[in-house]
Amino acid sequence: MKKLLLEGNNHHIEYAISGEQHDDCILFVHGLGANLNQFEQQHAYFNKTYCVLSINLPGHGRSTGFEKPKNSYEVLNFMSECVIELLDALNIVRVDYVGNSMGGNVGYELLKFHPQRLKSFTTFGTTAQLQTSNRTVGFLLKVHKLMSPAWRAYLSKFAGQTKISTNKINEMVRSTKGSTIIALLPTLANFNYLEVIKASTVPCLIIRGEKDRDINKHLTTTIQAFENRVQFELFDMKGVGHFANLDNPDLFNSVLHAFVLRHS
């Protein structure tokens, strides 16, 4: 895969692309503290038959232009517009969108404002509704402000279920500025996309990692909203956590590929 830099208005967007000769495109979007390196094995698997694209969201990798807007809506909407900016620059009309954690939130923004750009929508490690008290958010901010990058990376290892995934997660989190994580934490503490789900018709897949307990305990309302509409699938992956694609890439790729083919 090639890593490139798109120069936009007052910001840069770093992305990776492979399989450019193919018409159909799969886009992979990471979560808070991660980066496009999370999807190296997805590039290797899918580029034989698809154009594969991954992006570094603002404040991650070499992507710049991140300034904390006034409210969480503006943060996630700005990130989703960066995705659209990249697709427009590459002349990609529609994608099969795959978002992990915060990348799923960005996907919900696209589902709301740009559904015509999505052939399908897959999330893992993401819930569509979350409510966190101001007290809890304040505590988390204080903790992260006191953490060094090394400590933050060390604690992140518990999100991985294998040595390979643990090392990759540690490497990604260590390379992310603490200021980016601190600025985005409040954004990811309170949101609600349930009405967006109910109004959408884009085929959707949720991959639920067995050991992703922090997310799973908040998934009930998300799944209920999806079950009230058509073209929804839920797949339970055993033995994986928040980063399902790193913990078991072979099964992840197989499940995702089958879903995309069913809706091509």
Q: Is residue 82 part of a domain?
A: yes
Q: What is the mean pLDDT of residues 81-102?
A: 97
Q: What is the mean pLDDT of residues 141-145?
A: 84
DSSP for residue 57: P
Output the domain CATH number for residue 255.
3.40.50.1820
**Residue whose entry in the numeric block shows the structure tokens 């990348």:** 103
Q: According to the model, what pLDDT value does residue 41 have? A: 98
pLDDT tens digits, one per residue of 207-255: 999 999 999 999 999 999 999 999 999 999 999 999 999 999 999 999 9
Spell out the residues 6+ positions from residue 253 whose beta carbon is closer than 8 angstroms to its own: 41, 42, 45, 46, 245
Q: Is residue 171 part of a domain?
A: no
Q: Is residue 172 part of a domain?
A: no
What does pTM read for this prediction? Answer: 0.95
Domain region containing 9: 2-129+192-262
Token pair of 139, please?
């505590």
Q: Is residue 167 part of a domain?
A: no
Radius of gyration of the chain (CA): 17
* 3-state secondary structure at position 227: helix
Q: Is residue 232 part of a domain?
A: yes
Asked if 45 contacts 73 with a C-beta cutoff of 8 angstroms, the reply is: no
Q: Is residue 54 part of a domain?
A: yes
CA-based nearest residue to 42, from 31, 29, 33, 61: 29
Q: According to the model, what pLDDT value does residue 24 have? A: 97
pLDDT at 71 over 70: no
Q: According to the model, what pLDDT value does residue 42 have? A: 98
pLDDT tens digits, one per residue of 166-208: 999 999 999 998 889 888 988 889 999 999 999 999 999 999 9
State how far the alpha carbon of 39 is from the alpha carbons of 7, 12, 178, 212, in Å.
22, 20, 22, 19
Q: According to the model, what pLDDT value does residue 33 have? A: 93
Q: Count how many domains the chain has.
A: 1
Q: According to the model, what pLDDT value does residue 67 have? A: 63
HEC secondary structure over 18-45: ECCCCCCEEEEECCCCCCHHHHHHHHHH
Q: Is residue 65 part of a domain?
A: yes
Q: Is residue 148 part of a domain?
A: no
Q: What is the mean pLDDT of residues 58-77?
A: 77
Mean pLDDT estimate for the chain: 93
